Structure 1
Amino acid sequence: MGRVLADLFKKRGPVRTIGVIGMGYVGIPAGALFAKSFEKVYGFQRDSSSSGYKINLLNAGKNPLKGEEPGLDELLNEVVQKKKFECTSDFSKISQCDAVTIAIQTPFLNPTDLIPDFSALEEGIRQAGKYLSEGSLIVLESTITPGTTANWAKKILEEESGLVAGRAFGLAHAPERVMVGRLLRNIQEHDRIVGGIDDASTNRAMELYGPVLTSGKLIPMTATAAEVTKTAENTFRDLQIAAANQLALYCEAIGINFYDVRKGIDSLKGDGITRAILWPGAGVGGHCLTKDTYHLERGVKIADEQSVDFPDGVESLYVTARHINDFMPMHMVHLLKKGLNRSGKKIKGARVALLGWSFLANTDDARNTPSESFYLLCMEEGADIRVHDPWVTNWPGIDVSQDLESVLSGVDAVVIFTGHRMYYQLDSHKVRELSGSSRCVIIDGRNVIDPDVFIQNGFIYLGIGRGDKNSHPI
């Protein structure tokens, strides 16, 4: 069967035209880079009320993503001007594509039931199957439950196309490995995991991604191994963050500075020594880390293999890490209450400035932002919350302001949730003047301000991991 597909790829010739389904944080930079290296790229985007606006913007060479994204504006304009990139809602043009990548979000509506919402991904896969032609390649870039490519996705593509995967068309998983704020760089420099359902699919996918890489290497494996690789690497990062968060909570309880401890741990270096430790914070957000643990856990449960040999009565280490990271917005509420209590106030009726709505510094990416969890918890407590973010201009049901001074005016407390560059420059005198309070509370969830400077200017300071400062004399 593999030989038949390999011959079809050879007959079709080299990859020239590429389709990218999903014009988001992954699809847009990927499409632009493909257009730089190949003859033609179609970016497929539904003309919906929420996202249809991207079509005209992209076809004008304009980047719909906000925030700092080095090189993307220039590259988009270049490939559009050269007529190598076109965004369209006409999915029938998939029939013209030698390869089609699909990058669509795969959230969990309720992580505890381990059932992902694949509805949007399914729509994209069905569109690809409906129009795919013999000898084409379909690549899933979305992070998915292990086993999805070779089973669920394969079945849908075959149903829609009437063709057989591995014989008439290729199918692979090549997970994205990008961080907002460095999209182009990540796609070009990170090694690319490529897993086909067979050798012919893997080899064709390597032809697709090879020209885009600058310093990154291609790492071939099976489709399911690629799915496990992606979910596991994000699970491990989430685990590392949870370890830092738990240590920060310990340092607060003991009354010491987490950052001193971290520096000490990090100083141990040598052959075979690995003591890497990440940073604690107000919570973990984004589309990946908040869900990929559950994809990995689900993959184990649905695999038609032997059961996992694991200690009885012990919850998954990875799921426990998720619970710790999900707890951090609540911890921020606890710090806020403690600070307000020291200032002689209660959280009910307190005026609070929440600084940062995106989950990632210097971007507009607010998917699964921990700021929202904190906001809702404070609203339940009766607090009056104002939100500031320099990049996020709107959010359903939330008034997000770009006017920092108005948000800080007359507040009882300032809570820093995102490490935006501008928050590092907060002036204690100016903030105190705007607040109008001699005992304004400031809660630092990202270690962006110097506590001593604010304490000396009359603030009541509390910060994650700052047990040495959280009970400072007033």
Structure 2
Amino acid sequence: MECFKQIQAKEAFVAVVGLGYVGLPVAVAFAGKVKTLGFDINEAKIDLYRRGIDPTNEVGNEKLQHTTLEFTANPARLKEAKMIIVAVPTPINGDKTPDLAAVIKASEMIGQNLTPGSIVVFESTVYPGVTEEICTPVLERESGLICGKDFNIGYSPERINPGDQVHRLENIRKIVAGTDAATVEAIAAVYELIIAAGVYKASSIKVAEAAKLAENAQRDINIAFMNELAMAFDRMGISTNDVIDAMNTKWNALGFYPGLVGGHCIGVDPYYFIYQAELLGYHSQIIAAGRRINDDMAAYITAQIIKKLIQAEIHIKQANLYVMGITYKENCPDLRNSKAVDVCRQLAEYGVKVKVVDPVADQMELRKEFDGEIIDIQEVREADCLVFLVAHQQFKALRPADLANMFKPPHLTKRVVIDIKNIFLQTSLEEKVYSYWSL
């Protein structure tokens, strides 16, 4: 517990490596309790944070402007830390295999600045074994130190839900694991400084790594099940939303809904499980099937949009179509692995000139991901079709009269509304001469 005592006495820093949607809230939370360093290799990002600008919206500009967190892009400053938390992205490659480049690079850099008596805790999502079998040898090689003797390691999977204002860092129970019992106790004590919900001590690092994959794969499968139901119910002429409302009257209904599944967790983590399982000779059936269904939903939705345009006798290449929402989830600026972006690209392949409206998206990232026209919601005029892919709060606030002002007059076009997230009441729109389709 010497590490914890030094941190609690403010004799040493906690350092967070990687200041994105996960790392920034963790770093700011620790800064409210102890001396904390926030490190990122992106100097432009560090500059924004120092000026009190939070493009993630996870902390907010005001809180960022008043934090005592020390921002740095200088890796040498990590020598001042006794606990180093790694929160770098772990995406997938084009062939759906794990991309561990960032976590390996972070391990190299930390190893070069690691001091005896330190604990390195990984929060990045990985498959079981990565922390001990890939990252630890890198730390040892670069530092010349021995794990278990000169320093220790731990794993604590991130559970932050970007854009969620209810389930926040401090009220989500934290899983912790370490090389030995003393390390686990030290890691738990440090996290308990900021996690009001407390910690759960996993039996091993591999168990903690696997828990993150399991919880996200479970959610992915449940959404895939609802997506499969939605595609079948559409053919049956049944409203999926009505079925869910009826089903959810039972106490043990799970409350999942169909939709696009993207982002840096649910759309990625199951592939980490699939990859390692196949290396060991087990070929995933349920998890792989769920991934196939969810990965194919963008194409299915695109086909439905084209179908509805044709049925409304709207010329596809001349359609004035607006996509409302392009981030991977509601009320979150993150575009990583957004399936809404895939829908836009697929519509463009049909010759549709897509215009995107998203009041929440990180505009700089949006222009990197989408090369079409980006407009404000006030500029939506003379529409033939509105495609609501993401249920941002600003879209939920729209009334039928607001929608009417966005469309061409009804005598000029059949007004098409595609409502993937069931934002609007179907009957109210159909009564007002809309062609309405929801997932």
- 1:185: how far off? 5.1
**In 2 relative to 1, CA 64–241 (structure 1 residues): closer, same or farther, beyond 3 Å?**
same
Q: Is 1:25 aligned with 2:21?
A: yes
Q: Distance in 1 between matches of 2:7 and 2:231?
A: 58
- 1:457: how far off? 1.8
Q: Distance in 1 between matches of 2:56 and 2:139?
A: 34
- Contact 2:49–2:71 (8 Å) recurs in 1: yes
> Which residue of 1 is the match for residue 46 of structure 2?
55
Q: In the TM superposition, what are the counterparts of 1:115-194 in structure 2 within 5 Å?
A: 116-182=98-164, 186-194=168-176
CA deviation vs aligned residue, 1:190-210 (integer Å, no higher than 9, x gap)? 111112133232222112211
Q: Distance in 1 between matches of 2:94 and 2:405?
A: 44
> Which residue of 1 is the match for residue 88 of structure 2?
104
Q: Is 1:339 aligned with 2:329?
A: no
> Which residue of 2 is the match for residue 213 of structure 1?
195
The structure with higher relative contact order (CA 8 Å, sep 6+) is 1
Q: In the TM superposition, what are the counterparts of 1:374-453 in structure 2 within 5 Å?
A: 374-392=343-361, 393-394=363-364, 395=366, 396=368, 397-399=370-372, 401-406=374-379, 408-438=380-410, 439-453=414-428
Q: Decide which of 54, 57, 62 is 1:64's aligned counterpart.
A: 54
> Which residue of 2 is the match for residue 470 of structure 1?
none
> Which residue of 2 is the match for residue 78 of structure 1?
66
> Which residue of 1 is the match for residue 266 of structure 2?
289
> Which residue of 2 is the match for residue 275 of structure 1?
253
- Contact 2:263–2:328 (8 Å) recurs in 1: yes
Report the residue type matching 2:73 in the other structure. S
Q: In the TM superposition, what are the counterparts of 1:200-349 in structure 2 within 5 Å?
A: 200-269=182-251, 274-281=252-259, 283-302=260-279, 307-308=281-282, 316-349=285-318
CA deviation vs aligned residue, 1:101-137 (integer Å, no higher than 9, x gap)? 010111111244x2x2222222211111110100001
Q: Which moved more, 1:396-405 or 1:335-344?
A: 396-405
Q: Distance in 2 between matches of 1:20 and 1:95?
A: 12
Percent of paired sites with the same residue: 26
> What is the DSSP-based 3-state SS (H/G/I as helix, E as strand, rest coil) of the residue aligned with 1:442?
strand
Compute the TM-score of the two structures, normalised by the length of structure 1: 0.85
> Which residue of 2 is the match for residue 467 of structure 1?
none
Q: Is 1:461 aligned with 2:428?
A: no
Q: Distance in 2 between matches of 1:183 and 1:197?
A: 34
CA deviation vs aligned residue, 1:153-212 (integer Å, no higher than 9, x gap)? 011000100001111101011010011123795221111111213323222211221111
> What is the DSSP-based 3-state SS (H/G/I as helix, E as strand, rest coil) of the residue aligned with 2:112?
helix
Report the residue type matching 1:277 in the other structure. G
- 1:275: how far off? 2.7
Q: Distance in 2 between matches of 1:400 and 1:215?
A: 44
Q: Distance in 1 between matches of 2:310 and 2:319?
A: 11
**In 2 relative to 1, CA 15–291 (structure 1 residues): closer, same or farther, beyond 3 Å?**
farther
Q: Distance in 2 between matches of 1:428 and 1:75?
A: 37
> What is the DSSP-based 3-state SS (H/G/I as helix, E as strand, rest coil) of the residue aligned with 1:348?
helix
- 1:432: how far off? 3.4
Q: Distance in 1 between matches of 2:80 and 2:231?
A: 55
Report the residue type matching 2:21 in the other structure. Y
- Contact 1:265–1:275 (8 Å) recurs in 2: yes
- Contact 1:410–1:436 (8 Å) recurs in 2: yes
Q: Decide which of 338, 349, 357 is 2:326's aligned counterpart.
A: 357
Q: Distance in 1 between matches of 2:245 and 2:164?
A: 26
Q: Distance in 2 between matches of 1:192 and 1:456?
A: 49
CA deviation vs aligned residue, 1:418-473 (integer Å, no higher than 9, x gap)? 00112123343443343315212110011001222222221111111xxxxxxxxx
> What is the DSSP-based 3-state SS (H/G/I as helix, E as strand, rest coil) of the residue aligned with 2:202?
strand
> What is the DSSP-based 3-state SS (H/G/I as helix, E as strand, rest coil) of the residue aligned with 1:212?
coil
Q: Distance in 2 between matches of 1:337 and 1:355?
A: 16
Q: Decide which of 33, 36, 42 is 1:37's aligned counterpart.
A: 33
> Which residue of 1 is the match for residue 341 of structure 2?
372
Q: Unmatched 5+ residue regions in structure 1? A: 1-5, 465-474
Compute the TM-score of the two structures, normalised by the length of structure 2: 0.92
